[in-house]
A and B are shown apart, each in its own frame.
Chain A
């Protein structure tokens, strides 16, 4: 397998630009999930619409008192302080695990409060669809008392086709791996 990859890579590098647009969705792409989402602005949304840009993805909920605010803040700091060579190459995606509390109105308010610009998408979906996306990402969560959730503290980088290319906990403590992953991808 590894040997195959080593042989294939130089060819891939040459082919990627020409095949990328027309090729079938990749076998490992998260965008094969047919789940239906709604953006905070009320627009219906399919994950496949994310194709074409890398995404930094986190599952959160707006009333989270623990790690989510830190995760989102650190994603924000990252978005402002990205090195010049990768600026504009990644978008930001927040998906709520608490669709019951996080109505579109609440998400819109969250966007205002956190000052999230147009590079950020906020998505709301059904419990089943959130559970499925989380299962694909390896994100574990469970509602506990008083509306809080016990949950993984996981940030995921998706490449332009929707494949998982990087995951890490404690994003706040070290953004270097993410910068490196973005650099490795085709601009």
Chain B
């Protein structure tokens, strides 16, 4: 059933003229991303199955330390000394000096060392949610330019704005980002296996990839599949989206 819907949309799949009209539905700090189609990186069985994606209002930037400070002030249960271990591992807000002191020199930098639970709770408190993998890949999964000597190594894997969203203010600061369904990809499908076994699975997945030359997507998908919901990592931040009102 999805497929019959997807086919006509696919034809109009690129970001259309409606974009400018609907930007009004979003807030000033947000970018309007019109409805469209996302083609998953991995084939579903032997076929590629484009997925329709609803329009969203997307935060133009990832959440900063300053913004996260506001959140933990209002919601003390997410402060680093109070959070329950199920919801975040020991390294949660590991760069903060105490419950209400983020690193001063990083105040406007992306908040990292944040777990999936904390990121989700932040977005919910703002009336939003975390983007799905499909949504994220659609706005930030642009291919790296073939020759980009200035780019930091691997930064391309942490997100390149879709060409249609250039000049919208969309900022990708070079950190990994949480997604709502980060645990939907099976790169290895196993826990507790040796590195050797994992890398053989990783290679095997190349056969399943829609575009095996998209190295950035490989990195993102394997990174996501290795996460647990309570992980709090130095290079992992987040941004929120809202369904278009």
Which residues in A have some Cβ–Cβ distance to B below 8 Å?
Answer: 27-30, 32-33, 131-132, 134-136, 138-142, 144-145, 150-154, 167-169
Contacts and interface: CB of A to CB of B under 8 A. Distances in A.
Interface string B176-193: 000011111110011110
B116 interface: yes
A138 B44 contact: no
A133 to B, nearest CB: 10
Given A136-B229, A138-B191, A167-B191, A131 B183 contact: yes
B183 A140 contact: yes
Interface residues of B, number: 24
A152 B190 CA distance: 7
- List the 4 closest A-B pairs by CB distance, nearest first: A135-B229, A142-B184, A27-B85, A144-B44
B44 A145 contact: yes
A28 B44 contact: no
A29 B185 contact: no
B184 A141 contact: yes
Nearest to B3: A145
A155 to B, nearest CB: 11
A32 B86 contact: yes
B84 A153 contact: no
> Main SS of the interface on chain A?
mixed
Nearest to A1: B90
Interface in B192-219: 192
A63 to B, nearest CB: 16
B105 interface: no
Contacts of B47: 145
A152 B186 contact: yes
A46 to B, nearest CB: 15
Interface string B123-155: 000000000000000000000000000000000
Given A140-B184, A150-B189, A152-B191, 5 more contacts: A29-B86, A32-B84, A139-B183, A141-B184, A168-B192
Nearest to A29: B86
A136 B86 contact: yes
B3 to A, nearest CB: 9
A47 to B, nearest CB: 11
Nearest to B187: A140
